[in-house]
Amino acid sequence: HGLLARALGMAGWSLSDVQEMAFDEIRRDLRRPIPMARLLQGDIGSGKQSVIQASMLSMAEVAFQSVFLAPDPLTAEHRFLFAESFFRSVGLEPLLLSHHPSRAQIDLLKRGETLIVYGTHASVSALGECKKLGLVIVEDPSPTGFFDLSQLENLSQRPDVLVFTATPVPASILLSVYGGLALT
């Protein structure tokens, strides 16, 4: 775990016990031969982003690309700016996809030169260009299932999928909307 060990060795960055438990569940799923389909839940401020970043590092460690899909461009930029210095500190160059990815951005995805990508739900079509897509993280802004996960089934590569919501989802909605996802 070179990248993860470097990140955890940095002053001020660590996972709490609960975050470590959540990350362990995700890490186990990432090792399985069948693609992960998991919902990550937690209160606001519980550290879901740290668990997500650790998951992205795990994929980068084995040279697979991780793509974070935010609901809108402003949220995508905010998430990117929050994580950019962290990823750069361990030697990774994250990419922020524009709403309509440029040829240069598509070329980076095709060559697999960038392992950490942030974009919007609208940029899901660009995922087919990824050379080694391993993990797709979807920020679902609504507990009623705003993002249609079936969009990911059309990809030539079947990535692991991690969905999270900004706020905890009530159990009744969780079962009806996210019934096909394991829960962390």
- Average pLDDT taken over every residue of the chain: 85
Segment 44-59, tens digit of pLDDT: 888 999 999 999 999 9
Segment 90-111, tens digit of pLDDT: 899 999 997 788 889 889 889 9
pLDDT band at 11 (very low <50, low <70, confident <90, very high): low
pTM of the model: 0.89
- CB-based contacts of 32, cutoff 8 Å, min separation 6: none
| Among candidate residues 109, 115, 152, the one with its CA nearest the CA of residue 131 | 109
pLDDT of residue 81: 95
Q: What mean pLDDT do residues 138-145 have?
A: 74
Query: What tokens appear for 6 in the block?
Result: 């470097």
Segment 105-140, tens digit of pLDDT: 889 889 988 999 999 988 887 888 888 999 999 998
pLDDT band at 19 (very low <50, low <70, confident <90, very high): very high
Task: Kindly give the residue spans of alpha helices, DSSP state H, lying in the chain.
Answer: 2-9, 17-31, 48-61, 73-89, 103-111, 171-177
Query: For residue 16, is pLDDT > 60?
Result: yes
- Range scoring the smallest mean pLDDT among 141-150, 155-164, 174-183: 141-150
